[in-house]
Chain A
């Protein structure tokens, strides 16, 4: 029974399940390191997932779907930016509103476009994002099942490295962090707090939407109502668990993806209730946030609107 759960397919499904989390968590990182709380990740993922599926239905090309999803993510993020950066709306409230908005919008539009109650039509197999063929499944079935993944899986891992570089080694990264820690000082030094924060929020939207697209036209072949099922919030948890660091967040996502993979595989086989395994990421995040393991300290100006004197 132990070997039924812990085998190479567990590794494969951990990678698959972690990918949307990694993309969304990286997105959250750009926004939050710049000082803007982004609990709208969930809503942006939904917007991305729905747009990707819908555009693919009409164009037949999943890559156009992916691009459209990123466009949608940028638009939704711009709304969050407008509300919080320009009009100083409470960042949490604005994020919450966006989450509620994108429970409603896809359902409303799918009704109008496809006469369904919240789902898009099923895509044929050749219109879903293809797997990369790194190993021949006939000769190396195990390696193939682990490494033959969607290109977005590798993109997500690549983006972790890129983000680490951007954040710690570039002028933009330095400014982003400065704006998140001490916007007054950054402003005095001639950095436009508004522009940098907008940049962070917009990147955040594009990445979270990419995570959503992976769900609808990568892992699945259609959009269904509320298909993110809290993944935006798990990504946020992973971001905190990884202490707002790209590599830390990735490791947390892999761990949470692993927990989800185990929970799925344990269904009906082991006597530990599924619900308790699914709860672990949430409990751990609370523990870390309280500083009981390794304290997670948020960017100092996170959540505070900046008013230029």
Chain B
């Protein structure tokens, strides 16, 4: 119980502190923080619309926005557990999304039963391969993964932009997007899933099977990290590489393995984006999911359950931000990005909170 409290209290204080600072910013800009937060929360979680009718929209969109963040949060968390900071999730998810679209565009003759698994597999493999590069470079040459992943983000975006523009665009289309994928490659939205239960979930809400896949990924990551030998070895390398080496674990191999798994999870964002939402590759689609993944992992303390909760919080902020944009005079949805950044800073400065909180709750000072 004490550990649980300890695990939960820092993230909660960080979020609270960020909201207070965000409130001050809102006040300085000239809107009411209470009104802004009321809009933010009601439009993210409210079960009823302005007219008092039941609606799926708020929760539906919040979970839809949370889906990619679950994948990217898990991706960052797995790498973190091995002592690696994967800033390359952004690039890995672009490569994964493009690979999924490429399968959906290229093999239009195949039935959905084959095409969907193939496209999912392609997204995972492409992300994993892109993640493997910095892993191998670190293992072989010792070059720092942070710099390499930053560089690989730009290279990935350049590469898929080139492929989209020169090979897979509809001729004359001014938008940077590929031709649509085959119809049988679409995956089911929640409308289709919930219809048998007599629930009228609207088709326009793009929440789809990927969300369930994300939940499954949370479970599998937990099994992988805490119930397999590989996961144990990854965590051993993350907590003390020299001790792990001494204990007979190949540090190099675990680094590559962690980056491959991390990249695979990042690539899965493409399933949601391409197969469940836009049904094509749309360039520059990510508003920084990969970077938000760092915030999600940190806030979730690199645990799948924490990642899930943090992703839902950020999904809610993204959903609510759109309404803040519309229904307040001066505050724009960019407030969400500011809140996210402040949360990351606070979570990263745990030393600060620990010393401040320890004064009130002595149990927290011991680690």
**B194 interface hit (Cβ, 8 Å):** no
Judge whether B147 and A275 touch: CB under 8 Å.
Answer: no
Distance in angstroms from A148 CB to nearest chain B CB is: 32
Distance in angstroms from B141 CB to nearest chain A CB is: 4
Distance in angstroms from B155 CB to nearest chain A CB is: 5
Cα–Cα distance between A89 and B298 once the two chains are bound (Å) = 12
**A101 interface hit (Cβ, 8 Å):** yes
Name the one of B154, B294, B341 contacting A282, with C-beta atoms under 8 angstroms: B154
Of all chain B residues, the one with the shortest Cβ separation from A302 is: B144
Distance in angstroms from B249 CB to nearest chain A CB is: 23
Cα–Cα distance between A230 and B342 once the two chains are bound (Å) = 21
**B334 interface hit (Cβ, 8 Å):** yes
At the interface, is chain A mostly helix, strand, loop or mixed? helix
Distance in angstroms from A155 CB to nearest chain B CB is: 27
User: Which A residues lie within 8 Å of B331 (CB)?
Assistant: 108, 111-112
Cα–Cα distance between A286 and B136 once the two chains are bound (Å) = 12
Judge whether B330 and A112 touch: CB under 8 Å.
Answer: yes
Name the interface residues of B138-170: CB closer than 8 Å to any CB of A.
140-141, 143-144, 146-148, 150-152, 154-155, 158-159, 161-162, 165-166
Of all chain A residues, the one with the shortest Cβ separation from B133 is: A286
Judge whether A275 and B143 touch: CB under 8 Å.
Answer: no
**B29 interface hit (Cβ, 8 Å):** yes
Distance in angstroms from B29 CB to nearest chain A CB is: 4
Of all chain A residues, the one with the shortest Cβ separation from B85 is: A92
Judge whether A96 and B294 touch: CB under 8 Å.
Answer: yes
**A161 interface hit (Cβ, 8 Å):** no
**Chain A residues touching B, range:** 35 or more
Of all chain B residues, the one with the shortest Cβ separation from A239 is: B147
Name the one of B29, B332, B335, B344 contacting A96, with C-beta atoms under 8 angstroms: B344
Judge whether B143 and A92 touch: CB under 8 Å.
Answer: no
Judge whether B162 and A273 touch: CB under 8 Å.
Answer: yes
Cα–Cα distance between A104 and B342 once the two chains are bound (Å) = 11
User: Which B residues lie within 8 Å of A87 (CB)?
Assistant: 348-352
**B345 interface hit (Cβ, 8 Å):** yes
**A119 interface hit (Cβ, 8 Å):** no
User: Which B residues lie within 8 Å of A92 (CB)?
Assistant: 85, 87, 146
Judge whether A97 and B345 touch: CB under 8 Å.
Answer: yes
Name 29 interchain pairs, CB-CB below 8 A, sorted by A. Answer: A87-B348, A87-B351, A89-B345, A90-B85, A93-B294, A96-B294, A97-B341, A99-B291, A103-B337, A104-B341, A105-B338, A107-B337, A108-B25, A108-B331, A108-B338, A111-B332, A233-B150, A236-B150, A240-B147, A273-B165, A275-B158, A278-B154, A279-B155, A286-B152, A289-B137, A289-B143, A290-B137, A290-B143, A291-B141
Q: Which residues of B contact A (CB under 8 A)?
A: 25, 29-30, 85, 87, 137, 140-141, 143-144, 146-148, 150-152, 154-155, 158-159, 161-162, 165-166, 288, 291-292, 294-295, 298, 330-332, 334-338, 340-342, 344-345, 348-352
Q: Which residues of A contact B (CB under 8 A)?
A: 37, 39, 79, 83, 86-90, 92-94, 96-101, 103-105, 107-109, 111-112, 117-118, 230, 233, 236-237, 240, 273, 275-276, 278-279, 282-283, 285-286, 289-292, 298
Shortest beta-carbon contacts, A-B, top 3:
A104-B337, A101-B341, A89-B348
